[in-house]
Amino acid sequence: MDDFQGQGRETVVTMADAYTLSRAERRDQQTQRILDAAKACFVRSGFQGASMQEVCAEVGMSPGALYRYFPSKEAIIEAICEVDRQQDIESFITFLENPSIVDGLVEAAVAHITHVHERGNAALFAEIRAESTRNETIQTTCLKCQQQVYEIIRERVRLATERGEIDPPVDLDTLMAAFMAIGEGIALNDLPSLGVPVANLEILLRAMVEGMLRPTGRTTADSR
């Protein structure tokens, strides 16, 4: 995997490979290779700490070639942030579907934790988070993704409160701010990697969410 673009002429991998790829396909594939390699470098050395030379070495590509795919280092960073944030958020949203709010929140949180853990993304998230306080583009990306989750949860909590299914001890805004902050803390710390069993975590999170939402026991429909 290392002597990809070697020195000799005969080791060069031609564009028309065993299974011939179109120009566009090849381009997409190379772009992805760069993003993957850059991500590894950025996790290792930080956005500012990693040099383009380091990224080039990781991809196995010369600077001249790499700059045909991205116009600048910043563009690579921003692309990585965009993809990462969107992916993180999608797994979360999917699991919010459960009709019970408490179950939905807990399941989504557990799915999110598992997702971050499996992809080893906690360190990158920490990096993105720090960078987002400085880079406006990244900040916008983060906010946009966060808001998707925020709006959905907020609306569901609001409706459930209106219906009398839950009785939170504080206003909706405080509740939501706390939820988002807590979720971030848990994702950032990658608890499974610290040896915390997800099953135990789920029990605790349910107790926590119930404490914060105070389910009344009655439901409008026959959801149980």
Partner DNA sequence: CATTTGAGAATGAACGTTCGCTCTTTATGC
Partner DNA sequence: GCATAAAGAGCGAACGTTCATTCTCAAATG
CA distance 83 to 145: 10
Q: Considering only residues 40, 65, 126, 152, which one is a binding residue for a copy of itself as defined by CB under 8 A?
A: 126
Does position 19 bind DNA by CB under 7 A? no
- Report the site for DNA in 54-83 (rule: CB under 7 A): 54, 60-65, 67-69, 71-74
Return the structure tokens found at 41: 């470098």
Does position 137 bind DNA by CB under 7 A? no
Q: Considering only residues 32, 36, 44, 51, which one is a binding residue for DNA as defined by CB under 7 A?
A: 51
Indicate the SS3 state at residue 73.
Answer: helix
Closest among 197, 50, 210, 67 to 131, alpha carbons compared: 50
Number of residues located near a copy of itself, criterion CB under 8 A: 50
Q: Considering only residues 2, 9, 199, 218, which one is a binding residue for DNA as defined by CB under 7 A?
A: 9
Does position 133 bind a copy of itself by CB under 8 A? yes
Residue type at 19 in one-letter notation: Y
158 interface partner picked from a copy of itself, DNA, none, CB below 5 to 8 A per type:
none
| Closest separation in Å from C-beta 53 to a copy of itself | 15
Does position 172 bind a copy of itself by CB under 8 A? no
CA distance 12 to 3: 9
Interface segment toward DNA; rule CB under 7 A; list 15-23, 81-89, 126-134, 212-220: 15-23
Inter-axis angle of helices 122-132 and 23-45, nearest 10: 80
Does position 215 bind DNA by CB under 7 A? no
Judged on CB neighbours under 10 Å (0-12, 13-18, 19+), 120 is exposed
Interface segment toward a copy of itself; rule CB under 8 A; list 58-66, 75-83, 155-163, 208-216: 208-216
Q: Which is nearer to DNA, 12 or 181 (CB)?
A: 12
Tally of CA atoms within 13 A in the half-sphere of 60 that contains its CB: 12
Angle at 163 between CA 162 and CA 165, to 5 degrees: 110
Does position 16 bind DNA by CB under 7 A? yes
